[in-house]
Structure 1
């Protein structure tokens, strides 16, 4: 054992050891996360960061550079799907897509240099490394570092369902703090010497003192998590909703490889969706309360008839798209929630240069009447927008979307059935040829019923679901009954992105204590209950056209601590740490004077 430790210390002096540290962090964070869910590995994943800060303590420029290298290795391993996206979405050649992947690690891996520099600086000022410093610096780096695809160390620990419950109070950053506290304790303890520690009274005493705070903190998280889990496990729902999710596997481009025209491609898609919904309803033997279609389920088109009033509106608005949504609503007497492209003028001027496009979610009530809409606000850079105008020429497939501004929750409806409802032949996709939506709506008018406003829900598009601070902003609009996330992950192929995306969004269900419905174009679609559990057997496959039916529960409860107060606890911890170390700096300066 002593021989191994001696060789390891010699290895630490080499440059190869530095690269070993980069690989260590990248590999173990990747394995701790979806789709592997080896969350126990998160406790050792930060070791590479600790080794580097100890080796280069006080050499801040070296730590900054190495921090960005940690980001590059992490992205290259854990977010390797960026390379696939750059080739498919951006149409970049393989070498350039690889450079984009590495640049993403530099541009969006700031949490690593932030941690290395702050941890080294505060440790040196305190005259020693400490458990508290490691925890606060890890948590602060998570909070401050800008990310294109936000992930947090706490997400890796949240694979443990008991620990995950605590995000209701502390948010995901509280778990980040716990990760670094426990990880640093394990790192400094050097469990290889545990037999020797247990034999020596002095070493045993030091070991107990060193573990007091981490053990107490871990025990606190377990107790709080267990209490919350039991509390919410036994809650009685106020009602249930029958939800049908449609995953159409729509093409990324309507330019077909088999030589079909764009019209043939999109009509084949719409006909397939019609049959999918019809077959799902027949199998269930009942109508759903909600039919939920994904982002880009009908790509590049809109069902908003108002677009005909503006230039290019006839190229975006498609009557048969609108007609099919109206038919779905009336045929199955369900609220239909779907995604489209919307457009509006930025000013009163009608000049084309003032025309703006939006990624839009829409609600149609069971009578097929268009109700509310939500415009996506958290736009994905390099996908829906570019930071500089010249970059659109480099990636012509990138959208030119503007962010919406409203945080209004959307309403959903149920019908109040008539005693002897008339029946009409269904307007299927094939029958919508040459029919506009208003004709279809009038055709179904004999079946129209009075409607009941059933309540409100939280609509999110794509990556919005993985940003906790953003989702909190909806709290001022009311208390939603469930969360619906419409997304399109097809740009990432069969990589791990969709698993990671789903996992990152899972914590919103715990923060809000609401069920989460995820509808994707090509997978993975599924459901998360208010405890943060994936509903087993209800997740769809990747790159397949499928439907999924689930009875979700509506939980009636007031907003929890995190929804009301956000990152209050993490910020208090950071401020108190700043005050302590600021005072320590002043005392050191006075003593030196």
Structure 2
């Protein structure tokens, strides 16, 4: 049994080694699951009485180690504001939740192996895994950071076909490749040269054809010329000091100085990071706000200039108009607080976008009706005790000159389908405003930047990324990082980006592979239940004669 654990845990090492921001190791994903699948087969071949429990524990250990080694930075951000032992306990939620869901996909695969053929079981494994990934981007505990298709974010030259499939195409490719590599090994081990040759050709074709297609697309892809000058600003303000310690007006002045240092007469957009305007602002009274007036005064010299900035805002209601509205006993009114983006221009027009994909715990209480008692603990991590308000769907900012931009706030940039919604509604480039300073100088900030490259490929849109402490960057339509800043330095970058109005297949059709996986998982669950019923029925002795 120890040997099986050693073999399975080598999958955890390979998966970690292949994951961003490791450079050029992504192809390891195409074989990283082979040791784990091999270990599961070894257990199936034994006479253990509790194989299911053994396989569950084996997979859980593998996936927990992989997840923890890749998103360890969650602990860093918690440890900065609470004792280490409390931070460890809370970190176990993101470390362990995805690992448990991954393990259930493999456990269901094991159950299928008991009632049906190996290849149907493989199809079930793929369906269960994709269904888990879709669940983990859709429920209140959503954290799709470790979606398998994200693994090619660093080596994006191999993922150009994501413009057709999105990241779920990468997930499907990885799982299929691992299965064929394993079956190739089994065929040659059994000295079945004919089958081994066929499997070898099949697995190599499955691996090499997408790689070749992707590289050809990458080398031949040409952007249509439709330039717009954009500036991204990195103020580099300590996230633990920006709320309260440093006056909002001082922060805005700093942002303006950086913007003005490289702005030019034809600059269309200045992009500032998440919560760059930190003072809570009443949205209905924004035109009287001092920071707003300061920004408008700055824009006076830029004829077509617009500022997209993160902002802390709120709205006041006479009644509880939204599910997240809270009651203020002093004013006897209701209100919502928002992690928002604002567009300011040289006119009275003002646009707000309220972040939709909220971070569980930090920005919203998951399943608040059941977990409301945890709100004070979540508030200690910079969230709000009642949770932020949100809007239900993406909305596009339009400039005075008609340019459509996608105001994507931080965590939202890891949802391919959500970013695609902006593009369907007219966004010609993607503006990511984020604050990755909470995580410190860890791989979290690098992974977040790498994932933005996939959004550029899926939508064929430039990404202008403004991060409070870094890494700010410009990413072109092929996913290349054209310019980027260093970590933890004040900086500003400018770039002529090409706008794009055409829609990719993925933008038009969304996560169709995920929907197929969910449908397939339903079919295989039915097959599992029916098969298990038949097995149980066969084991029941038939009673003959009088009772």
**Do they fold alike, i.e. is TM over 0.5?**
yes
Residue 493 of structure 1 deviates from its aligned partner by 0.7
Find the residue that maps to 2:233 and give its secondary structure. Answer: strand
| Partner residue, 1:151 | 146
Residue 277 of structure 1 deviates from its aligned partner by 2.0
| Partner residue, 2:410 | 462
Equivalent of 2:456, from 497, 500, 509? Answer: 509
Residue 571 of structure 1 deviates from its aligned partner by 3.6
Equivalent of 1:175, from 153, 165, 170? Answer: 170
Q: C-alpha separation between the residues in 1 aligned to 2:309 and 2:518?
A: 42
Structure 2, unpaired ranges of 5+:
45-49, 321-325, 539-547
| Partner residue, 2:92 | 102
Structure 1, unpaired ranges of 5+:
1-12, 309-316, 414-452
| Partner residue, 1:345 | 316
| Partner residue, 2:74 | 82
1:138/1:177 contact within 8 Å kept: no
| Partner residue, 1:328 | 298
Equivalent of 1:293, from 247, 272, 275? Answer: 272
Find the residue that maps to 1:299 and give its secondary structure. Answer: strand
Q: C-alpha separation between the residues in 1 aligned to 2:317 and 2:14?
A: 47
1:561 is aligned to 2:505? yes
* Distance of aligned partners of 1:77 and 1:184 in 2 relative to their CA distance in 1, 3 Å threshold: same
1:143/1:173 contact within 8 Å kept: no
| Partner residue, 1:441 | none
Q: C-alpha separation between the residues in 1 aligned to 2:156 and 2:79?
A: 36
Q: C-alpha separation between the residues in 1 aligned to 2:404 and 2:374?
A: 39
Q: Which shows bigger deviation, 59-68 or 240-249?
A: 59-68
Report 1:434-513 matches (<5 A).
453-474=401-422, 478-513=425-460
Report 1:187-336 matches (<5 A).
187-190=182-185, 203-222=192-211, 224-226=213-215, 228-229=217-218, 233-237=221-225, 239-254=226-241, 262=245, 266=248, 268-281=250-263, 286-302=265-281, 304=283, 306=285, 319=290, 321-333=291-303, 334-336=305-307
* Distance of aligned partners of 1:569 and 1:171 in 2 relative to their CA distance in 1, 3 Å threshold: same
Residue 306 of structure 1 deviates from its aligned partner by 1.3
Report 1:387-398 matches (<5 A).
387=366, 388-394=371-377, 395-396=379-380, 397-398=382-383
Q: C-alpha separation between the residues in 1 aligned to 2:250 and 2:294?
A: 13
| Partner residue, 1:372 | 351
How many residues are matched?
A: 508
Find the residue that maps to 1:497 and give its secondary structure. Answer: helix
* Distance of aligned partners of 1:30 and 1:302 in 2 relative to their CA distance in 1, 3 Å threshold: farther
Q: TM-score, normalised by structure 2?
A: 0.82
Find the residue that maps to 2:146 and give its secondary structure. Answer: coil
Residue 503 of structure 1 deviates from its aligned partner by 1.5
Post-superposition CA distance 1:502-559 (Å, at most 9, x none): 1223211111111111111111111221112221xx11111211111111111231x2
1:552 is aligned to 2:497? yes
Post-superposition CA distance 1:286-341 (Å, at most 9, x none): 55221110102232443846169xxxxxxxx851x223211222133311111111
* Distance of aligned partners of 1:149 and 1:250 in 2 relative to their CA distance in 1, 3 Å threshold: farther
Largest Rg, 1 or 2: 1
1:250/1:298 contact within 8 Å kept: no
Post-superposition CA distance 1:325-364 (Å, at most 9, x none): 1122213331111111111135447951621101111111
Cα RMSD for the two superposed structures: 3.3
1:363 is aligned to 2:351? no
| Partner residue, 1:10 | none
1:43/1:179 contact within 8 Å kept: yes
* Distance of aligned partners of 1:60 and 1:588 in 2 relative to their CA distance in 1, 3 Å threshold: closer
* Distance of aligned partners of 1:236 and 1:255 in 2 relative to their CA distance in 1, 3 Å threshold: closer
2:406/2:423 contact within 8 Å kept: no
2:223/2:477 contact within 8 Å kept: no
Post-superposition CA distance 1:399-427 (Å, at most 9, x none): 331112353211012xxxxxxxxxxxxxx
Equivalent of 2:19, from 27, 33, 51? Answer: 33
